[in-house]
Structure 1
Amino acid sequence: MKLDQIETPAALIDIARMQKNIARMQGHMNALGVAFRPHVKTTKCIDVVRAQIAAGARGITVSTLKEAEAFFAAGAEDILYAVSMAPSKLPRALALRRQGCDLKLVVDNPNAAAAIAAFSDQHGQTFEVWIEVDTDGHRSGITPEQDTLLEVGRILHENGVKVGGVMTHAGSSYELDTPEALAALAEQERAGCVRAAQRLREAGIACPAVSVGSTPTALAATQLEGVTEVRAGVYVLFDLVMHNVGVCALDDIALSVLATVIGHQADKGWAILDAGWMAMSRDRGTSKQSHDFGYGQPCLLNGTPLPGYVISAANQEHGILSATAEHAHTGEDITQRFPIGMKLRVLPNHACATGAQFPEYHAVTPDGDSVEWRRFHGW
């Protein structure tokens, strides 16, 4: 299918850009001497993950057990479920382990650790569990110097549960926008996770894996002494938030939403698209950054950005394309610039959120043809 034949709205992946992004990250990890375990929650797409594995990825990271089940069925065996384990989900995890999946669980509190230990004993199954470490105060995890770190480690270790490692995610990197700040956080992330592993080892608890990562810190890291692997996800497609952080250019962004102009409000300077928040998502991650892209950056069908224009508002099925304040004074007639039926591509704020609005991607080849890549939803 050519782009002008695809029904809109539709999610497009530029294959050439995606492959370039994969090669960039994998090459950087190879140069730093660490394994790379991509986070597949961004795309939830087997075709994309196969390209990541072909480039050299070792294992995958998931954020839902449904992802683990789907990717294991597709051939991935080494899987880190990187969300603190809810005891009610242990039967599902057990089913995967018994099918041969090398599924690793994550905990960040004594109660969950005790529940895993009790469940393991009850079912005669040894799980591998990693402990989540908080290195930047962004989300969940145990800080490297907390007594709770050793408490959790001992609960697992003394009850026959393998402590496979420690992992952290420097999510606060999304709030930064200079190379110096990103490099400093990458080192903070590395040092904190390595310190947590050191404390566990000094307490007699084996901790072979030290796993760090976010897309910005992975790309900003200059040395990863003591780290065994890095995780990152959005790098494979990138988005406008990552552009504002400073880790990609607009022409690195591999995901876009294909939309059609369906109307105008000429007196307001609006062109109406058939891609509202149900297509773009409600994520407004760039609103707190130096450049607010509204609900997305419009581009021509060939992917060329249209400077001075933005998706300024969105209803459920309607997107409002308008000129930015700096561009509005030109007086260009928006009805002539964007005629009814014209198709555009819109770069998203957050690739994970936008991709989640669609059941499939249309993967676009350099010659303009496209093939359908399925993705899946749910938990």
Structure 2
Amino acid sequence: MNSPVSLFSTLPTPAIILDRQRLEANCARMARRAADAGVRLRPHLKTAKSAEVARIATAGQFGGITVSTIAELAYFFEAGFRDITYAVGIAPSKLTAIEAYIARGARISIVLDSVRAAEAIAGHAGAPLSVLIEIDCGGHRAGVAAGSDALIAIAKRIADAPGLHLEGVLTHAGHSYHAASEAARAQIAIAERDAAVLAAERIRAAGMTCDTVSIGSTPTALTDVPLDGVTEIRPGVYVFFDLSQARLGVCNVDDIAVSVLATVIGHHREAGHMLVDAGALAISKDVSANEHDPHIGYGLVCDIDGRPIDGLYVADVHQEHGFVRSTHGTPPFERFPVGSQLRILPNHACMTVAPYREYHVLDTASDALTKWSKTYGW
């Protein structure tokens, strides 16, 4: 039997390690949640950016996915996915690329949240566009209030435009990442659901159709809040999970499916840290989990088998350097000589995996390491 030491020893570092069994378990968990709630699951692939992950996440589902970039849209279309929601506010300059994929057989939904944005795309000369109105359910990143007059004005402008089809409404409770308790997450999940359902009801009451009622964030999706009136959920980071989700109580640390493989490149005994070759670009500068646990830094350090090492964390990062320190004082220099390998669990998986060109997939069932593709960029 091959050990992770032998499987990883020839990999150039930093590299992303993906545990297939954890990935599959995470995807099965969300599929059960969608089935129990009676809604469709349209996974947001901005996290994984991988066709192989997408096939696992959509297995047994209706096949729709969510993306956030044109690069993702193109990559997943070429991989065979045809029902795609582009869940970032539309810029008119993106329409040419989107219409090209519609002409090739894709069903693409776009998102906007103002009359001005609707007017900017209403005069396009391409294929008919399905439009979702983004609703602000409390995060205040984007969107229109569900009870506002602006919502109906936007809906009417879309409905009246010959080249546009009002498909429905969409929202995302991104502020759930700051919920300090399960009860707080449930309250945000209720507000997310209610905002989307209210918006849909008001559009229908104004005489227009609203077939899709789409919500989505991993922390809110994984509550037991009923989803009456919702048609689909669009969570994303659940496929991998991360330290932020673990500290929120959404998952356990041993559910986290991705880690950064790094090599020890130095010992600075006077400063009290080890150096690894995974820095800000390799693990990101996201420190979101520190909101709930101040001793995580830029990531928790694990041994080569993926087991967290008590007290060891990435305390600081430069572009290509990570500083590994211990909450217990002196790091275990003798245990990890220069050249040895460690694995780092990320604060925010989406940010960490984004720049990599491939995954090194560990299949513990077959004791094998393979490569999976992914996209990157915009």
**Where on the TM-score scale, by shorter chain, does this alignment land: which range?**
over 0.9
1:189: which partner in 2? 192
Distance 1:174 1:292, change over 3 A: farther
The RMSD of aligned alpha carbons is 1.4
Determine if contact 1:187/1:221 at 8 Å carries over to the other structure.
no
Query: Quick one: distance in 1 between partners of 2:283 and 2:87?
Result: 26
Amino acid in structure 2 at the alignment position of 1:302 = D
Distance 2:353 2:79 in 1: 20
Q: CA deviation at 1:138?
A: 3.3
Q: Distance in 1 between matches of 2:368 and 2:294?
A: 32
User: Equivalent residue of 1:68, what SS?
Assistant: helix
Residue 27 of structure 1, CA deviation: 0.7
- Please list, as runs of the form range in 1=range in 2, the aligned pairs for 1:238-253 lying within 5 A after superposition: 238-253=241-256
Q: Secondary structure at the match of 1:261?
A: strand
After TM superposition, where is structure 1 displaced by more than 2 Å over at least 4 residues in a row?
A: 55-58, 286-292
Structure 1, residues 44-101: CA drift from partner, whole Å, max 9, x if none?
1111101112242530000012211111111111100001111111111111111110
More helix by share: 1
SS at match of 1:51: helix
Question: How do 1:1-20 and structure 2 match up within 5 A?
Answer: 2-20=7-25
- How far 1:337 moved relative to its partner? 2.6
Q: Deviations over 1:133-162 (max 9, x none)?
A: 000133100010111111110011012321
For 1:102 and 1:79, locate their aligned partners in 2 and report how far apart those are by CA, in whole Å: 6
Q: How far apart are the structure 1 equivalents of 2:261 and 2:62?
A: 30
Which residue in 2 is equivalent to 1:128? Answer: 130
1:112 aligned residue: 117
Alpha carbons 1:280, 1:357 under 8 Å: kept: no
Show the counterpart of 1:205.
208
Distance in structure 1 (CA, Å) of the matches to 2:346 and 2:331: 25
Deviation, structure 1 residue 196? 0.2
Report how many residues are paired: 371
Distance change in 2, residues 1:204/1:298 (3 Å): same
Identity of paired residues, percent?
Answer: 43
Q: Check if 1:263 corresponds to 2:263.
A: no
Deviation at 1:221, TM superposition (A): 3.8
2:303 aligned with 1:296? no
Gaps of 5+ in 1: none
Letter in 1 for 2:375: F
User: In structure 1, what is the Cα distance between the partners aligned to 2:131 and 2:232?
Assistant: 16
SS in 1 for 2:58: helix
TM-score by length of 2: 0.95
For residues 144 and 46 of structure 1, what CA distance do their matches in structure 2 show?
34
Gapped regions of structure 2 (runs ≥ 5):
1-5
User: Residues 4-43 of structure 1: matches in 2 within 5 Å?
Assistant: 4-43=9-48
**Residue number in structure 1 paired with 2:3:** none
Point out the more displaced range, 243-252 or 366-375: 366-375
Letter in 2 for 1:337: R
Aligned partner of residue 180 in structure 1, secondary structure: helix
Paired amino acid for 2:51? I
- Tell me which residue corresponds to 1:338: 336
Change (3 A) 1:138 1:245: farther
Q: 1:35–1:58: 8 Å Cα contact kept in structure 2?
A: no
